[in-house]
Structure 1
């Protein structure tokens, strides 16, 4: 999990317009009315194309911050970049890793990873991919002047060196099973060293663009309007040769405008559909409303453990007083499920059956029980305590989380003071400790970028950058550190399951629910695999004509 820029991902998933009712049933503290559960199922693949396309359009909820892979730390950035730039490893729609620009990877010692760079690959300017390009691209994450959003993936790296004609060796300061897993995302992207040197400060922006190896090349970036990508005819992987000559991403910040464009067929598709629009698009004759694999859990971050929430009983009470099913119904129109843990099963790739049973079955449950929660607050001597919850006018579901939390607290004898700040100030909560001073709670939708739940629990160790509340548990730290040194996924998963149990008992963050990735695929197109892998996998290349 990167240690910088996290706030951009949080602000933008909300800005994507998850949408919600402005009033959560039951916020008055009365017994809520339960909505009928929404019916939905995950789709892994869609029909193969019948032919190629000249072009298709895609609604992007925001203009990318940058196409520089060092800063591509957000949905809007990565959904574009994934089709242009490639990483050492490839993170697939089923959330497994396979070789990418590294034809193979070896792990000869616990401290070294050796990558054999794929021969016969060219950048979009026609120059060949070399090991030197990989070294230059990866070393940028270690350069303080760059300030990479993906620095934490590299925080245990001692050196990155070319050790053969097409070989790169990464030496770690100690065993780190997570490093190679992170090479399937933006942290593993390889760019032309010559392009990096030539473009300098303009690299990745609308002027400089990028020069990578993906199935599409960078075409044109019209600031405030669109980005156009063009099929790269020299692409190395015939299985992912682009089926469309171009794809145009249109920036559509307004959720209603985006919904109307999808309903009318003005644009051919889009990720992260506003929740209010899902029922409408399910009934649309303009295409298919689909639900895909996700790795995100929606949580309340406890950012002050020196206050009332420092007592685990108060944290447990607040979680039990939250009508989480009501939150799901209001915030994502019922398209989600409540959870008591901080990871989804989708990220437990290679886990043993015993680990899954421990991580998801042998954990504390926190049912909606106001009376029991109230007693916990009384036992903790916290009745009458005040909490500060920070929110922002980013989208209507933010209001749902804030009002639901305030109502839950009131029902058990606590008071929540809601403070509304600007979106930029909200983003600062994730990067600036001073912004969190006096703040007890704020919301996050926290997704993982690798097929391993240990990514989640690594950031909750003592003094980690993203351990926003300063939670510290020596037993937890020891379990996570032991897991980091285990290379076998099944064996590692069993230690990670122990970490999940501890976090489930201690509640450094309060897990609320998980929800699927949403996608609308218009009537002209097919071939896309609905999955959060759209952040890193060249999904647009598989789209062709119905």
Structure 2
């Protein structure tokens, strides 16, 4: 009974039902001494979102080639900007569970036909009321033969999408129990339409903040949307997102008070920053992984034995120890984390084996240098990680030349273009979503170009079949096979999974739960966090 009473008094204080003085008196009456009652009141009030202030976010992402066009989003700068001004049919909540967003609800009888009931009374920043037709046009922008959208692959199972009264109906080419996750993909923002078409670069959405400034790869800013449909969100008056790719500059900006929140803290300096009394370090384990994709449509990576030689020539534990400093875990050359439901835990961990690597390299017939492009734009320590790969490969007789690429333009000029480079992936909450984003043959973001080998063809068949398999045991077996195919035949080197390491001023507050599907509360900090 005492616990119930305390919880009720805390609720009343948090909602303004009683004053701080009344709360302290009630806690003393309940048996607490004055210092304890004072501390408890401070904690309750700190957890109550307050309106006001300008939130400044420093991100280790951004490129001058960025755009407001959702089909082009390729880094965290674009992603966080999208979450600032727009919304999706569904979202991953702070507790990691999928919840409706612009959809009021979603349902299916067979996992093949999905019906999303669209929320009424939601306004775009231009004053237009959102309709199911806007949803259909926004989704269709990413579909079709001519689409170059990065989300084309994840929508490939959709054969038709149409408005029906207050609903939007998706017809898939087969059952997909995880489809509601797909429509939370950050590319799939809902924007206003005219006669079935959208203006993809207008930057008009339904989100918590309407855009006031947009400088590609530099900064974006917005002011609170007074008509935002979520009454318990959008606490700041203004939000500014800054591209601070240099990790030292980003961390100094937080320590000097120039920004309030940063992402991608360097593991080498996290302990030092944690000693700053004005800063809180926030670390979350999710699906973030660092990769070195080899494009199998380009020599010499079109050779299976050469790819296997490189996979066997890497000291993964050394990379976790020296690059992540323990803030992560070993990767096994596939993108599925132990945080995913169907991680292939029985797949043997690939180990450094210079003898086998040398044998495969000899069988490949290759000789001479192999170029590996890297930049810390990919992740903190990416150049050092590339040097570690080169050093361990030398023990197998493989000569790797590390090319240090410029940070600016890395995602448009190097990644998904040069034959071998450094990369990061935020991962996805479901196996099908991850595979559809970066590994199926229809994905624009298939950065290994793994599409035509026998293993790739088998992989696509398995993923398509697993997507519609409703028996969990069978689906687990299928996804294990898919991971094995990437591990063996694919062009992805995935040496490590990294924790999200973020930092914020002690003036910043957030809920007890912080989502780990992306950095910074799943990219939703502008909407969810507040100043204490």
TM range (shorter): 0.7 to 0.9
In 2, Cα distance between the equivalents of 1:76 and 1:194? 28
Query: Judging changes above 3 Å, is the alpha-carbon distance between structure 1 residues 135 and 309 closer, same or farther for their aligned structure 2 residues?
Result: closer
Q: How many equivalent pairs are there?
A: 474
- In the other structure, the counterpart of 2:230 is 237
Q: 1:184: how far off?
A: 0.8
User: Structure 2 matches for 1:115-514, cutoff 5 A?
Assistant: 115-142=116-143, 147-164=148-165, 166-176=166-176, 179-194=179-194, 200=199, 203-204=202-203, 210=204, 212-221=205-214, 226-239=219-232, 241-304=233-296, 315-345=307-337, 348=340, 351=341, 355-356=342-343, 359-360=344-345, 362-371=346-355, 373-374=357-358, 376-377=359-360, 381=363, 385-386=367-368, 388-395=370-377, 397-419=381-403, 424=409, 427-428=412-413, 430-431=415-416, 435-436=417-418, 439=419, 441-448=420-427, 450-458=428-436, 459-461=438-440, 466=446, 467-470=448-451, 471-473=453-455, 474-487=457-470, 491-506=474-489, 508-514=491-497
Please give the alpha-carbon distance, in whole angstroms, between the structure 2 residues aligned to 1:426 and 1:540: 24
1:178 & 1:536 partners in 2: Cα distance?
A: 18
Q: Deviations over 1:493-525 (max 9, x none)?
A: 332122223333445422200101121110111
Relative distance call for 1:294 and 1:302 in structure 2 (3 A) is: same
Q: Deviations over 1:208-244 (max 9, x none)?
A: xx2x2223332334677643322223222234x2222
Tell me, yes or no, if structure 1 residue 531 matches structure 2 residue 523.
no
Q: Matched residues in 1 for 2:200 and 2:277: separation?
A: 46
Is the alpha carbon distance of 1:492 and 1:419 closer, same or farther for their aligned partners in structure 2, counting shifts above 3 Å?
same
Q: Is 2:522 the partner of 1:544? A: no
Q: Which residue of 2 aligns with 1:42?
A: none
Q: Measured at CA, do residues 415 and 258 of structure 1 come closer, stay the same or move farther in structure 2, by a change above 3 Å?
A: closer
What are the superposed Cα offsets for residues 14-66 of structure 1, whole Å, 9 maximum, x if unpaired? xxxxxxxxxxxxxxxxxxxxxxxxxxxxxxxxx73463332222213455722
Q: Runs of 5+ in structure 1 lacking a partner?
A: 1-46, 205-209
Counterpart of 1:191 in 2: which secondary structure?
coil
Which secondary structure state, in structure 2, belongs to the residue aligned with residue 160 of structure 1?
Answer: strand
Query: What is the rounded CA distance, in whole Å, between the counterparts of 2:324 and 2:146 in structure 1?
Result: 40
Which structure is higher in RCO with an 8 Å CA cutoff and minimum separation 6?
1
**1:183 Cα shift?**
0.3
Report how far residue 394 of structure 1 moved: 4.8
The CA distance in 1 between the partners of 2:173 and 2:458, in whole Å, is: 22
Q: Distance in 2 between the 1:111 and 1:427 partners?
A: 36
CA distance in 2, matches of 1:426, 1:220: 22
Query: Structure 2 vs 1, CA of residues 427 and 386 (structure 1 numbering), >3 Å: closer, same or farther?
Result: farther
Partner of 2:17: none
- State whether residues 49 and 543 of structure 1, in contact with CA within 8 Å, keep that contact through their aligned partners in structure 2: no
Question: TM-score, normalization: structure 2?
Answer: 0.78
Whole-Å separation in 1 of the counterparts to 2:364 and 2:441 = 26
- Quote the offset at 1:269 in angstroms: 1.0
Q: What secondary structure is seen at the aligned counterpart in 2 of 1:259?
A: helix
CA gap 1:514/1:249 in 2 versus in 1, 3 angstroms: same
Q: Which has the larger radius of gyration?
A: 2
1:119/1:129 contact within 8 Å kept = yes
Return the alpha-carbon distance in structure 1 between the equivalents of residues 481 and 410 of structure 2.
35
Superposed CA offset, 1:431-469 (max 9, x none) = 4xxx55xx4x33322233x42113334444567651424
Q: Which SS does the other structure have where 1:279 is aligned?
A: helix
d(CA) in 2 for partners of 1:290 and 1:226?
Answer: 23
Q: Which residue does 2:71 correspond to in 1?
A: 70
Displacement of 1:195 in angstroms is 11
For 2:516 and 2:83, the matched residues in 1 are separated by 13
1:532–1:461 distance in 2 versus 1, CA, 3 Å = closer
Counterpart Cα distance in 2 of 1:105 and 1:191: 20
Question: Structure 1 residues 282-291 or 152-161, which shifts more?
Answer: 152-161
> For the Cα contact (< 8 Å) 1:327–1:400, is it kept in 2?
no
Checking the alignment, whether the CA contact within 8 Å between 1:56 and 1:268 is kept in structure 2 is yes
The verdict on how the C-alpha distance between 1:307 and 1:187 changes in structure 2, with shifts beyond 3 A counting, is closer
Q: Give the alignment's TM-score, normalised by structure 1.
A: 0.76
The 8 Å contact of residues 375 and 410 in structure 2, kept in 1 or not, is answered as no
Query: Would you say the 8 A contact 2:297–2:449 is kept in 1?
Result: no
Distance 1:161 1:383, change over 3 A: closer
Aligned residue number for residue 87 of structure 2: 86
- Gap runs ≥5 in structure 2: 1-45
Contact 2:115 2:170 in 1 (8 A): yes
Over the aligned positions, Cα root-mean-square deviation in angstroms equals 3.4
